[in-house]
Amino acid sequence: MTAADRRYAVLFDRDGVLNVDHGYAHRPDQLEWIDGAKAAVAALNRAGVLVLVVTNQSGVARGYYGEADVDGFHAAMQEDLAGEGAQIDGFYICPYLADAPVEQYRHPDHPDRKPNPGMLVRALQDFAVEPANALMIGDRESDMQAAAAAGVAGHRFHGGDLAAFLERILAGTDFPR
């Protein structure tokens, strides 16, 4: 495979990285973008880099909202991004939790629940991206552990402008820009 044939992806955690973490965000009216998040997604899209979201959604397992609500929130994100000429290429959620009050989402250690790498591995397989050609941006140690377990470089976002943060990271890679 030549360099031109490679597919690249940036995997983002959702709450606290793309949108402000207000705690169990699931309604479109709760969507508040992190500074620079829409610009970061748009820049990646223009460069031909896949944008994938991998997010634990324990609010589903806790009975606070359903998977359809998560889908609605993601649709609102896509609608906002479309106004910027941008999109997220794939959403991966893990609604499972070890001590979930909602029995159908109770699992002692679901392979998709970060820090396990299941969502990341599946996303990369679905989009035919080699782990060496992917980055994970998250705000928690569990995101970094999932990235390491999937063989993906992890970068911890501590707030600020996401586009500027991403540009600093990409400057040290062979990712297209």
The Cα 171–Cα 162 span in angstroms is 14
Q: What is the model's pLDDT at position 172?
A: 84
Q: What is the model's pLDDT at position 3?
A: 52
Task: Indicate the average pLDDT of the chain.
Answer: 96
Q: What number of other Cβ atoms are within 10 A of residue 154's Cβ? A: 19
Domain assignment present for residue 175? The answer is no
**Residues forming beta bridges with residue 117, ordered by sequence position:** none
Domain assignment present for residue 177? The answer is no
Q: What is the model's pLDDT at position 4?
A: 55
Q: Report the percentage of the chain scoring pLDDT > 90.
A: 95
Q: Is the pLDDT of residue 95 over 90?
A: yes
pTM for the model: 0.96
The Cα 88–Cα 156 span in angstroms is 20
CATH number of the domain that residue 119 is part of: 3.40.50.1000
Domain count of the chain?
1
Q: Return the active site residues.
A: 13, 15
Count helices and strands (H / E) in the chain. Answer: 6, 5
Parent domain of 97: 3-134+146-170
Domain assignment present for residue 104? The answer is yes
Q: Is the pLDDT of residue 163 over 80?
A: yes
5-22: average pLDDT: 95
Domain assignment present for residue 44? The answer is yes
Least Cα distance to 50 among 108, 8, 102, 6 occurs for 8
Q: Is the pLDDT of residue 1 over 80?
A: no
Q: Is the pLDDT of residue 134 over 70?
A: yes
